[in-house]
Amino acid sequence: MSGKRLVLADSLAEEGLKILRAASGLVVEDCSARSRDELKESLAGAAGLIVRSATRADADLLDSADSLEVIGRAGVGLDNIDVETATRRGIAVLNAPVGNAISTAELSLALLLAAARRIPAADRSVREGRWEREAFRGAQLSGKTLGVLGAGRIGSEVIPRARAFGMRVLVADPFLTAERATDLGAELLSLDELLPRADFLTIHVPLTDETRGLLGADELTRMQPSAILINAARGGVVDEDALADALHAGRLAGAALDVFSVEPFPADHPLRSAPGVVLTPHLGAATPEAQREVAVEIARSVRDALLEGDFRTAVNLPGVGLVDRARVDPVLDLARRLGAVLSELTDGRCRRIALRFGGGLERVLRLIAASAVEGYLSRSLAGPLNLINSLVLAADRGIEVTRARIGVVTGYAGIIELSASDGEDELVVVGVLENDRHPRLLRIGTFHVDVEPRGNLLLVSNRDVPGVIGQVGTLVGATGVNIAEFHQARNPETGEALAVLALDDPLPAGVVAELRELEAVREVRQVSLDA
């Protein structure tokens, strides 16, 4: 049985396994029962890896994966994956952000109710033979204010459920617009504005460098003493020691946590003895429904990435929430080809690459720039190079990459202006997509040309004198290589010209050397572009 090998480091629901095993071109290897050392051995030659929370896909593990293209996380959190190392190696990292959204949102409300009504403590009291109604007075939710930190997929599911309880909802999210907040039935505020107004605060942000310790001692101090904090997102977003101090000191009424900075939760952690706390062992996705949905979601994403090259949902792809591939792919293809042409003309040496684009896809400018840089670096890099890591590798080489929008574009489906500068000289190439999505190369430096940037291009810089076109055509024709297009651009003011030939096959090196010997020829460059 042949195909790309996909390693399962952790167990996956049967619904996801069926999708992967039914995919022609994939060979699924279940390594969930193997040791870490055995897993490392299994990763040699594997194209894909799927993990859940148990396996750490860190640099040590990835060092054993010499052919990895995709890492899939059956869940939303990525803190057990070294995304930086994966990105540098050109490995797409996928997750399943939708599958467990409902289950986690419901758990957040369950934790809120459990903490507000002190249900776990009351249950324990009854089981121990007591009947202490007065000791467990709680708070009703109706009429109270819920602060939601992060209104992504899970946070936006929490909001309508909280409103069904009659709660007012405030939301803090730097990526949310006021209009979207209104649509959700919430009021958008900054975190500083939200904290003192919330009776309850529920957290729904990922763990990143920006969110680690987001709620520390200062933030907790700004909350009401009667407030209750709920975290079913990621451990580490809340400073747990500061939270324990606030609870022990009575500066906060309670908390309910499903996630922790260290899991399993340490036996000696001060939160274990803090009053008013509900603690659960990371149960956000612990429902059969969530496990099925997550497994199906990640299985489809990994399958499509490995077999169709569809990396649009990769979290480390420089462009999230892309429009359909029919619109994006021709633009990326043109950008990559222009980058390759520019690299040949500058010998792959520059300090700055600048992209300007017009044509209605401006919101994915970073992705278009990544494709252009991929084309530019392809001439000089032998290692893994793709949309995932091209911008990182450019930065490693001290190349600054900028991007900007061109104003209104008429007559074309898209236009790309790409330039490379070494600090002194700058060279610009311009390409367009015609309305049928057909690519054309329209400018090289100061010369206006019109040729399809495909296959093999021969660029001949020459003096604008009689006979040059004939000499070039004769030498090329003698090789038996067919000339698909021949465009001669002239600059009457300088007396210089540029001939661009589209060839069906590349010219032998000896013929290129002969062309350079022609008296009127300044330089000859040959660029091989994939068909």
- Active site (annotated) includes residue 263: yes
Vertex 401 angle, CA 397 and 406, to 5°? 165
Residue 476: HSE in the Cβ half-sphere, 13 Å Cα cutoff: 29
Token pair belonging to 101: 């959204």
Q: Which of 234, 303, 336, 337 is catalytic?
A: 234
Output the CA torsion sign for 243, 248, 254, 255: positive
DSSP letter, residue 281 = S
- Active site (annotated) includes residue 282: yes
Q: How far apart are CA 278 and CA 117, in angstroms?
A: 11
Token pair belonging to 393: 């590798």
- Active site (annotated) includes residue 248: no
Kindly report the number of other CB atoms within 10 A of residue 152's CB atom.
17
Kindly report the number of other CB atoms within 10 A of residue 99's CB atom.
26
Q: How far apart are CA 322 and CA 402, in angstroms?
A: 20
Token pair belonging to 190: 């900054």
DSSP letter, residue 198 = -
Q: Which of 29, 38, 263, 289 is catalytic?
A: 263
**Cα dihedral: 261, 203, 279, 124 (round 10):** 170
Order of strands across the sheet with 496-503?
Answer: 483-491, 496-503, 456-463, 521-528
Q: How far apart are CA 233 and CA 225, in angstroms?
A: 23
Output the CA torsion sign for 56, 61, 62, 68: negative
Token pair belonging to 163: 């409103």
Output the CA torsion sign for 10, 16, 18, 23: negative
Per DSSP, the three-state class of 258 is coil
Residue 247: HSE in the Cβ half-sphere, 13 Å Cα cutoff: 21
CB 130, CB 153: distance < 8 Å? no
Looking at the chain, the number of H-run helices and the number of E-run strands are: 17, 22
Q: Which of 52, 89, 282, 336 is catalytic?
A: 282
Residues annotated as catalytic (active site), given as ranges: 234, 263, 282
